[in-house]
Amino acid sequence: MSDRRLRIALPNKGRLADGALALLERAGLEPALSSDRALRADLGADFTGLFVRARDIPEFVADGAADLGITGSDLAGESNRPLEILLRLGFGRCRLVVAATDEAEWRSADDLPDGARIATSFPRTTARWFEARGRRIELVPVSGAAEIAPHIGVADVIVDLVSTGSTLKVNGLRELGTIADAEAVLVARPGFDAGPDADRVRELVTALESVLRAEGKRYLMANVPRRALPELKRVLPGLNGPTIVDVMDSGEHVAAHAVVEKADVYRTIAELKRLGAEGILVTRIERLMP
């Protein structure tokens, strides 16, 4: 095992930066930033964060300038570099879509004629998608603001990222089809997680997984009448059923503890009250190990 700090390339701004920092902080790896414009920062005792453009992170990792990276799966795919996705992180979700003007005659991407001109900042991904369908297209690479291209005759349609689709609507565009779903991912060079730093990589993945597993869940505790125990498992299924603990000096009640889905808390509390439960407490969960 190497004693050097592992370098993690992190987005310096944009849709992925806030999510990456929040996830690392919840995992106990809050960056020690000297200023908002710092290009690097320590992340605990084992890691150093390198703050770069999200689009450049696949290149940094593939070339060995960084050991690991957090970027978008769309950017990792577009880079066409050998990368291994170690963990899907669940934030920064969006879709890469084909879109045309509201006035266009096409109803789906399959309606586009051979030779259609497509403006996009994802030329490799776009080319692969249409090639897999036996379609011949003309790519018009752009670095941003693809939405204007069909309106000024630069292209017939665009391929771009959307989250809610509101930007397309504002610019008089509508979706013809989805090329790929995207989200933030943790990437490494192939085989890096089996090398001399494998233990630290596994520890990082485990820490991030524990944070992701805790999202959307709550820890619920309640004093429940002992007579209600036959019904309690239905109300509090938890991960493996509720944990039951005797309450000191109280023969009539037991303490029930369980992990519940955030969306189920309202209903669960109502059912516990119906069973005669008291002292109900709900708390957030920082990390959850299986």
CA distance 288 to 238: 12
Task: State the average pLDDT over residues 64-69.
Answer: 96
Task: State the average pLDDT over residues 81-90.
Answer: 96
pLDDT 10s digits, 148-161 = 999 999 999 999 99
pLDDT 10s digits, 133-189 = 999 999 999 987 899 999 999 999 999 999 888 999 999 999 999 999 999 999 999
Task: Please report, for the chain, the start and end positions of each structural domain, with discontinuous segments joined by +.
Answer: 6-92+183-214, 94-182, 217-284
**Do 94-182 and 217-284 have matching folds?**
no
CA distance 197 to 184: 23
- H-helix or E-strand containing 123? helix 123-132
pLDDT 10s digits, 229-276 = 999 988 988 667 789 998 876 678 999 999 999 999 999 999 999 999
Q: Check residue 237 and give its pLDDT.
A: 81
Q: Is the per-residue pLDDT at 2 higher than 60? A: no
pTM: 0.87
Q: Check residue 239 and give its pLDDT.
A: 66
Q: Check residue 164 and give its pLDDT.
A: 87
Task: State the average pLDDT over residues 42-66.
Answer: 94
Token pair, residue 243, equals 């944990």
Q: Judge contact between 177 and 97, C-beta under 8 A.
A: yes
Task: State the average pLDDT over residues 213-241.
Answer: 89
Lowest mean pLDDT among 30-34, 123-127, 147-151, 277-281: 30-34
Give the domain 94-182 fold: D-Maltodextrin-Binding Protein; domain 2 (3.40.190)
**Averaged confidence pLDDT in the chain:** 92
CA distance 61 to 77: 13
* Residue range 6-92+183-214 in CATH 3.40.190.10: yes
In the chain, the percentage of residues whose pLDDT exceeds 90 is 80
- Using alpha carbons, select from 179, 16, 169 the residue that is nearest to residue 96: 179
Cα separation of the two ends of the chain:
26
* Residue range 217-284 in CATH 3.30.1050.10: no
* Burial class of residue 219 in the structure, from the number of CB atoms within 10 Å of its CB (0-12 exposed, 13-18 middle, 19+ buried): middle
